[in-house]
Amino acid sequence: MKFPKMGKRNLKLFTLALAYLTQPVLFMGQDSNAQPQVEVYRASKPADFNNDIYYRNKLEYSQELGVLPINIPLVFDFLTGSPYTTWPLHYTLVPNIASLRWHVNDIGGPWILRGNTDLTFSGSFTAIPRGPETRYAAFDVGVRRNFIQPRWRIVPYFELRGGVGDIDAKGPDGVLYAQGQDLTFTFMMGSGVRYNFNPRYSMSSGLTYMHISNAYLSQPKHEDFGINVYGPMVGFNMRIGKPKQKFGE
């Protein structure tokens, strides 16, 4: 079958136009199942640097110095039946304490109690610039709770310590209200804040209460009056050994 000359030309134009119009439709059909690739960047919280400071089995060397000039009654007088009062003889104690701090766990716990705990093993020498005695040496064991919130560089703490020591007692020499014997026991309670410069070094500052007595062992020969004072305490902490090992290192 022969087409007129004009018809062949029109057929070619129609074929080209049809091919041009159907090409985008074919491409769209090929990509109909493809999903646009959109990269979503979610803002992530910065890592808590405190995980590199407070962690299980971390060891620290601690050096503390205090000045405790404020005399108060024994805080446990209500348990012993003693009169809640101070004695006429007042003391000022200046404890110098060297300690090994052992962090026994990682950071954990609910809300305001979130934190970690360290055990403290201390040797101390206490000068007595005010009072009949002049010095007190002791070995103490304690526990401190660090209250750690995420990304807090300043961390509150509360601690308790107890131990046994030796004082140059002047009660046997006839000094009224002085200590009744050399063998004595100590109890310390303190609270403050710790500031971490980095995972290795930190400082602490707070108030500490200190009690010294012989637990009535000198009675009835010599009265056990005891010493009860409190005041400021500052400390310096330094990590012992290598930093915390990250997973996979």
Whole-angstrom Cα distance, residue 189 to residue 125?
A: 17
- The pTM for the full model equals 0.78
**Radius of gyration of the CA atoms of the chain, in A:** 37
Q: Quick: pLDDT tens for 120-172.
A: 999 999 999 999 999 999 999 999 999 999 989 999 999 999 999 999 999 99
CB-based contacts of 100, cutoff 8 Å, min separation 6: 59, 60, 61, 62, 120, 121, 122, 240
E strand or H helix that includes residue 15? helix 5-30
In 3D, which of 186, 172, 74, 100 has the Cα closest to residue 137?
186
Give the start-to-end residue ranges of the domains of the chain: 55-240
CB-based contacts of 12, cutoff 8 Å, min separation 6: none
Q: Quick: pLDDT tens for 40-74.
A: 445 566 678 999 999 999 999 999 999 999 999 98
55-240 is a CATH 2.40.160.20 domain: yes
Whole-angstrom Cα distance, residue 128 to residue 184?
A: 15
